[in-house]
Chain A
Amino acid sequence: MERARARQPRKVVAQSHELEAHPQAVRVTVWLCATRPDSVWKLSPPRDTLGLALRGEEGALRHVALTVNGVRHELELEPRELLAYVLRERLGLTGTNIGCDTSSCGACTVLVNGESVKSCTMLGVQADGLEITTIEGLARDGELHPVQQAFHEHHALQCGYCTPGMVLAAVSLIEAGAATDEQAIRLGLEGNLCRCTGYHNIVKAVAAAAGVS
């Protein structure tokens, strides 16, 4: 089967024959595999064939304490609530955008204890005790973070929808010392999709922020 160039192959185990035999099976499989391993088994698979909803396990609300952008929050969460929705709907931090339901686009990327994570691949309850940084928390004293500034200077955003996730993915890539050259940046940002910029200026901005040419 030809559609083998799946993004992030390490996460996608759906085989092509499943695609042909069972179109709906693929998404379910991909979803589960793309979800962080420790959360996979807590999710029951979607029941509806169109993937409209992902039902969580039944059960009581869970008490969760997490720190977001330096502020501690205590929340009563349904076990099924994804971190992305906790940020957006419970905390009103709508800078974290949602662009897909298969953990493919990266629009929802945040930093969890400093490392970039797609916040739709993580349950809110898993964030108990963790430190989250969203795009709203990146600027310091009102000044844009150097990566944000580089995005501005290099015209690395158009519609801006992918931007919060892209910026945070870039911050984490640079901090990990992995933004070593153009190719490394391109590979490092593979999990974040942008439909507007063709990535040209994003790569330039990240290289500039990382101090590589």
Chain B
Amino acid sequence: MTVVGTPIKRREDEALLRGRGSFVDNLTLPGTAYMAVVRSPYPAARIVSVNLDAARAAEGVIAAFSGADLADEWAGPLPCAWLVTEDTKNPPHYPVAIDVARYQGDPVAVVVAESRALAKDAAELVEVEYEPLPAVADVEQALSDGAPLVHEELGTNECYVWKLETDGIQAAIDAADVVVTRRYRQPRLIPNAIEPRGVLAQVGPTGDVTLWSATQTPHIQRFVLQLVLGIPEAKIRVIAPDVGGGFGSKIQVYGEGPLAIVLARRLGRPVKWTEERSENYLGTIHGRDVVHEVTFAATKEGKITAVRSEAWCAMGAYLELVTPGIPLLGAWLYSGPYEIPNYSVTFTGVFTNTTPTDAYRGAGRPEATYVLERTMDALARELGMDPVELRRKNLIREFPHTMASGLTIDSGDYHASLDRLLEVLDLDAVRAEQAARRERGDVKQLGVGFSTYNEMCGLAPSRILGAIRYAVGGWDSATVRFQPLGSVQVVVGTSPHGQGHETTFAQIVADRLGVGVDEVEVLHGDTAISQLGMDTYGSRSLAVGGIALWQATEKVIAKARAIVAHQLEVSEDDLEFADGTFRVKGSPDRSMDIKAAAFAAHAAHNLPDGMEPGLEETATYDPANFSWPGGAHAAVVEVDTETGDTRLVRYVAVDDVGRAINPMIVDGQVHGGLAQGIAAALYEEGVYDAEGNLLTTTMATYLVPSAAELPSFETDRTETAADNPLGVKGVGETGTIASAPAVVNAVVDALSHLGVTDVPLPATPERVWNAIQEVRS
């Protein structure tokens, strides 16, 4: 029976539904001590003194340290793995600030006590004397003359300038019939995985380290921990147990991990730290915070001839693991699914006195897609063209397609997705309803917005990563192991936190080996079990890790084939393999199943000369190209023109994510992605005041949407096979990348008859109301 392509239920659910999840905060070791971090309330301040006496004297306190106390513990600063230009500025960043705090939430001291509550009580007793310094929170202000410097010694807040440009861009713009230039501000988004971060560190008597961490990246953690602590990777074991969502915010190697290890080593006790939500708002990376200026050039018939984008991107106060590289993940997407011959993209990275930015679902690609799809609508208005028609006219028709920007899209059929979208949407009916409401002058107006998109994920071909100065590779690895009696153990280098890898990967292996899906056990998230891996982010787990798994499975079959051929005394070419059994071609009664081959491999009584016993193979896969999902989305919104209140009434998503191994899980990924993009369009905004105080530090002021704010989604798929053995593409981020512009385009469309052409992000009632007032006055 084939299980690939079927919506089998997840094996992950059972433990989670019964409250038996192994989230880090649920784990405790004998003798565990608890860590609390004291953070700077100032966006910028010199640390004049840190008085720990009262904290040290408090009930249950084991130790307390300032940044200076711990300065000698670090073999190096927390590294950034992606310095995008030769001269990218990367100021040193330590787990606890030593003399200057540079953002609100920067750690300045740490307390360890017998319980969580006592640690927090004592943290309050730490007296830090600060000398507040001028701070800057806004990217544009940070680049202005005389702006406060986040890092005095750099003499500038500019971190880097990165450019990708084809020849003749200016000439193409000058020669165009129509030129449209727009500015967009995409605010900060705060990831808000519902499980905050947490670590539990244990150091053994020989200096061996075990770190349980709420992380997406156990392998990357291990690597970085050596750089920060000087402990060889070989002595470090990182375990990502059940992890309660990440969305990019658990990729980074934050200071609290190394800090807990250092304290565990100094105190001879396991040390645990669990982030609180208000701490999470300050201490965990944010996403977006980018200002764009985009120019489109087109013929009067609507053929786009050039796109030029300039963006100013907030880095925050320090570079986290891949902060400067985030814009680059979108650098090839400013032409999106369209054929545009002239191309220019410039990014300026800017330090501000704010929480560092880094990957948040989509990372760079939602930013690019947002400005692209908003500007498509602006161009359509300028040309007096229907926005769907304009898109159709410019969509890429043939694949593989090499873009002006240099990369090649392997597969897709963007027209098919758009056709299907219009069918599901029933655009004519929506337009008719819209016209009727306009005719009647209804208070509640209807709008429909589109986003045809593609994206670049499955991170990533190692050679390309090297060419754009990423420090390591983008391959992944998997092991497939037959146990002697025929059950199968799979070990993967990816590290799920909600994506259902155990189920999806078991489906792939079970089908190919011809064993029951329940006979396949999938192990992950522990570097002692999974030695090689590059973890989970950038919609890479199936598109890269899944292919490694496919290859390891093929290697197992090849070895089993050799064993069977030897035992049946036929040539390997005479064997065919299906449904778990090798049969001799032409005499199907001569056969041996793969479990028997596995036993034979372990017994090793009669193996081909020179063959090693056991039936276990490992493969690593380095993709030749990125993964290129795409599709067409539409949002229908209802806008109250008197209050500005906007409700999303329908959302239709048609995606091409290649072959769906488990359609139920694929749909779930799309739903979750959509919710985050829609939230960015309508609700979420991390707000700093001019001095760098974060105003949105709770779920009551930062509006993560609830079920009440969202509709049910209408999802469908078109399918083109990706250029890999499974035909699969990434799916984790598509929804987030495509949806924000569709929703805002819909809001603008609802008000276009009034003359509204733009509403800033997020389109809150106040902003919508203001946009209406502006055109009315």
User: Would you give the shortest CB distance from A196 to chain B, in whole angstroms?
Assistant: 5
Could you tell me if A30 and B698 are in contact, using CB atoms closer than 8 angstroms? Answer: yes
Does A178 have its Cβ within 8 Å of any Cβ on chain B?
no
Could you tell me if A151 and B17 are in contact, using CB atoms closer than 8 angstroms? Answer: yes
Does A17 have its Cβ within 8 Å of any Cβ on chain B?
no
User: Would you give the shortest CB distance from B179 to chain A, in whole angstroms?
Assistant: 33
Does B183 have its Cβ within 8 Å of any Cβ on chain A?
no
User: Would you give the shortest CB distance from A71 to chain B, in whole angstroms?
Assistant: 15
* Given A158-B499, A186-B707, A100 contacting B698 (CB threshold 8 A): yes
Max chain A CB contacts within 10 Å: which of B123, B194, B277?
Answer: B194
Could you tell me if A161 and B244 are in contact, using CB atoms closer than 8 angstroms? Answer: yes
Could you tell me if B767 and A2 are in contact, using CB atoms closer than 8 angstroms? Answer: yes
Among B147-155, B258-266, B671-679, the stretch that binds chain A is B671-679
Which residues from chain B contact A3 at a C-beta distance below 8 Å?
A: 701, 703, 764
Distance in angstroms between the alpha carbons of A50 and B632 in the assembled complex:
43
Partner among B25, B38, B124, B277 whose Cβ is within 8 Å of the Cβ of A47? B124
Could you tell me if B701 and A26 are in contact, using CB atoms closer than 8 angstroms? Answer: yes
Which residues from chain A contact B665 at a C-beta distance below 8 Å?
A: 155
User: Would you give the shortest CB distance from A2 to chain B, in whole angstroms?
Assistant: 3
Could you tell me if B23 and A97 are in contact, using CB atoms closer than 8 angstroms? Answer: yes
Give the nearest-CB partner of B665 in chain A.
Answer: A155
Which residues from chain A contact B124 at a C-beta distance below 8 Å?
A: 47-48, 52-53, 55
Which size bracket describes the interface of B in this complex? 35 or more
Which residues from chain B contact A104 at a C-beta distance below 8 Å?
A: 277, 698-700
Could you tell me if A151 and B276 are in contact, using CB atoms closer than 8 angstroms? Answer: no
Distance in angstroms between the alpha carbons of A110 and B692 in the assembled complex:
38
Give A178-213 as 1s and 0s: 1 = Cβ < 8 Å from B's Cβ atoms: 000010011101111111111111111000000000
* Given A94-B26, A136-B19, A50 contacting B708 (CB threshold 8 A): no
Could you tell me if A160 and B13 are in contact, using CB atoms closer than 8 angstroms? Answer: yes
Distance in angstroms between the alpha carbons of A53 and B21 in the assembled complex:
26
User: Would you give the shortest CB distance from B226 to chain A, in whole angstroms?
Assistant: 28
* Given A5-B765, A7-B699, A161-B23, A191 contacting B243 (CB threshold 8 A): no
Does A45 have its Cβ within 8 Å of any Cβ on chain B?
no
* Given A94-B25, A195-B194, A200-B712, A52 contacting B276 (CB threshold 8 A): yes
Give the nearest-CB partner of B497 in chain A.
Answer: A159
Distance in angstroms between the alpha carbons of A201 and B194 in the assembled complex:
17
Does B9 have its Cβ within 8 Å of any Cβ on chain A?
yes
Does A65 have its Cβ within 8 Å of any Cβ on chain B?
no
Distance in angstroms between the alpha carbons of A20 and B676 in the assembled complex:
26
Could you tell me if B765 and A2 are in contact, using CB atoms closer than 8 angstroms? Answer: yes
Partner among A7, A155, A182, A193 whose Cβ is within 8 Å of the Cβ of B664? A155
Q: How many residues of A contact B (CB 8 A)?
A: 84
Could you tell me if A152 and B13 are in contact, using CB atoms closer than 8 angstroms? Answer: yes
Could you tell me if B9 and A153 are in contact, using CB atoms closer than 8 angstroms? Answer: yes
Question: Which chain B residues in 1-44 approach chain A with CB under 8 Å?
Answer: 7, 9-10, 12-21, 23, 25-26, 36, 38-39, 41
Could you tell me if B675 and A198 are in contact, using CB atoms closer than 8 angstroms? Answer: yes
User: Would you give the shortest CB distance from A137 to chain B, in whole angstroms?
Assistant: 9
Does B68 have its Cβ within 8 Å of any Cβ on chain A?
no
Distance in angstroms between the alpha carbons of A195 and B196 in the assembled complex:
12
* Given A2-B767, A23-B693, A193-B194, A157 contacting B17 (CB threshold 8 A): yes
Among B114-122, B349-357, B437-445, B487-495, the stretch that binds chain A is B114-122
Inter-chain CB contacts under 8 Å: number: 263
Give the nearest-CB partner of A27 in chain B.
Answer: B698
Does B522 have its Cβ within 8 Å of any Cβ on chain A?
no
Does A60 have its Cβ within 8 Å of any Cβ on chain B?
no
Could you tell me if A100 and B245 are in contact, using CB atoms closer than 8 angstroms? Answer: no
Does B668 have its Cβ within 8 Å of any Cβ on chain A?
yes
Could you tell me if B19 and A135 are in contact, using CB atoms closer than 8 angstroms? Answer: yes
Max chain A CB contacts within 10 Å: which of B676, B697, B765?
Answer: B697
Distance in angstroms between the alpha carbons of A1 and B121 in the assembled complex:
35
Which residues from chain B contact A185 at a C-beta distance below 8 Å?
A: 707
Does B603 have its Cβ within 8 Å of any Cβ on chain A?
no
Could you tell me if A195 and B710 are in contact, using CB atoms closer than 8 angstroms? Answer: no
Partner among B123, B195, B282 whose Cβ is within 8 Å of the Cβ of A159? B195
Judged by DSSP, the binding face of A is loop
* Given A7-B699, A158-B672, A164 contacting B277 (CB threshold 8 A): no
* Given A2-B764, A197-B672, A203-B712, A50 contacting B282 (CB threshold 8 A): yes
Does B427 have its Cβ within 8 Å of any Cβ on chain A?
no
Does B587 have its Cβ within 8 Å of any Cβ on chain A?
no
Which residues from chain B contact A164 at a C-beta distance below 8 Å?
A: 19
Partner among A6, A20, A199 whose Cβ is within 8 Å of the Cβ of B707? A199
User: Would you give the shortest CB distance from A191 to chain B, in whole angstroms?
Assistant: 7
Could you tell me if A95 and B19 are in contact, using CB atoms closer than 8 angstroms? Answer: yes
Which residues from chain B contact A135 at a C-beta distance below 8 Å?
A: 17-19
Does A162 have its Cβ within 8 Å of any Cβ on chain B?
yes
Could you tell me if A50 and B41 are in contact, using CB atoms closer than 8 angstroms? Answer: yes
Could you tell me if B194 and A102 are in contact, using CB atoms closer than 8 angstroms? Answer: no
* Given A23-B694, A27-B698, A105-B699, A159 contacting B20 (CB threshold 8 A): no
Which residues from chain A contact B18 at a C-beta distance below 8 Å?
A: 95, 135-136, 138-139, 144, 148
Give B682-711 as 1s and 0s: 1 = Cβ < 8 Å from A's Cβ atoms: 010000010001110111110110111110
Could you tell me if B13 and A157 are in contact, using CB atoms closer than 8 angstroms? Answer: yes
Which residues from chain B contact A182 at a C-beta distance below 8 Å?
A: 712
Could you tell me if A89 and B123 are in contact, using CB atoms closer than 8 angstroms? Answer: no
Does B320 have its Cβ within 8 Å of any Cβ on chain A?
no
Does B526 have its Cβ within 8 Å of any Cβ on chain A?
no
Does A176 have its Cβ within 8 Å of any Cβ on chain B?
no
Does A40 have its Cβ within 8 Å of any Cβ on chain B?
no
Could you tell me if B9 and A152 are in contact, using CB atoms closer than 8 angstroms? Answer: yes
Distance in angstroms between the alpha carbons of A197 and B694 in the assembled complex:
28
Could you tell me if A93 and B497 are in contact, using CB atoms closer than 8 angstroms? Answer: no
Lowest 8 A-B CB distances belong to which pairs? Answer: A95-B19, A160-B16, A2-B766, A161-B244, A159-B498, A198-B675, A135-B19, A104-B699
- Chain B residues with CB under 8 Å of chain A are 7, 9-10, 12-21, 23, 25-26, 36, 38-39, 41, 105, 115-117, 120-121, 123-124, 191-196, 242-245, 247, 276-279, 282, 497-500, 664-665, 667-668, 671-676, 683, 689, 693-695, 697-701, 703-704, 706-710, 712-713, 735, 764-767
Q: Can you give 18 contacting A-B residue pairs, CB < 8 Å?
A: A7-B703, A20-B689, A30-B698, A85-B116, A88-B26, A94-B25, A99-B244, A102-B698, A135-B17, A159-B195, A159-B244, A160-B244, A161-B194, A195-B245, A196-B672, A197-B672, A201-B668, A204-B712
- Chain A residues with CB under 8 Å of chain B are 1-7, 12, 14, 19-20, 23-24, 26-27, 30, 34, 47-53, 55, 78, 80-81, 85, 88-89, 93-102, 104-105, 107, 134-136, 138-139, 144, 148, 151-153, 155, 157-164, 167, 182, 185-187, 189-204
